[in-house]
Amino acid sequence: MGVGLEVNDVPIVGEPIAYGIGFVALLLVTLTGSWTGALTTVVHEGAHYVVSALSFRRPQYFELEDGGGGGTTVLDQSWGPGYILSVFAGYAAPPLVALGGAALVAAGNAWAVLWSAIVLFLAAFIVAGGPLAFLFTLLVLAGVTWAALAGSAAVQAAVAVGLVWVLLFGSLRSSLILSRADGTDAARLARATLVVPRIVWHAVWVVIALLALVVGGQFLLRPGYTIG
């Protein structure tokens, strides 16, 4: 087996590591939301950036704010399908990314979760703007890279499942506490779609995050669980 792939042999699904790390992640998200929320925010802003780039809207960089918030600077803010998709992707991406990670862990491939995180946070570091965004993405990138290259198989498994749990819980938290101010993604979508009030977008994001948590939790806690 290749170097580092021993993590795929560590029992995770339905084991104490899945329950224990999940409980710790829930406490961290509940008690230190502004800190753990930054992880969700990086994925959130990364989704804005990627969809904006794919729709040729000229994204520049993303920033993190004290308290876990953030923002992405995009030069082209004109109305269109690309604008709507890029705004919608922010709150939809973290739970879907977490669900994908949970599915990988359930398939016995925690190694892929670690290296996917490394690639994603390296890309985030490259397009980060502002000292807080640089520092946070660098610290997470360094920590996950160390775990993947030098950590024991147990440490690698804990980091992989921890990232998934934090995103699952964090994405639901961020959707539930989404502000109703005029500058939020929900308000922007309400203005862009004209006929869909912002509360509908709130509800859609909460449903996505809740379903991801339920299904992702089943992947992590129930051996042999499959959708359907």
* Higher-scoring residue by pLDDT: 5, 150: 150
Instruction: Yes or no: say if 38 and 66 are a contact pair by the CB < 8 Å rule.
Output: no
What is residue 11's DSSP assignment? -
Distance CA 219, CA 14 (A): 9
The half-sphere exposure of 27 on its side-chain side, counting CA atoms within 13 A, is: 6
Q: What is the pLDDT of residues 53-65, one digit of tens each?
A: 999 999 999 999 8
The half-sphere exposure of 167 on its side-chain side, counting CA atoms within 13 A, is: 28
Instruction: Yes or no: say if 221 and 19 are a contact pair by the CB < 8 Å rule.
Output: yes
Residues 6+ apart with CB under 8 A from 21: 158, 161, 162, 165
Whether residue 68 is predicted with pLDDT greater than 80 in this model: the reply is no
pTM of the model: 0.93
Q: What is the share, in percent, of the chain residues with pLDDT greater than 70?
A: 96
Q: What is the pLDDT of residues 185-224, one digit of tens each?
A: 888 998 898 877 888 999 999 999 999 999 999 999 999 8
Distance CA 132, CA 62 (A): 11
Whether residue 179 is predicted with pLDDT greater than 80 in this model: the reply is no
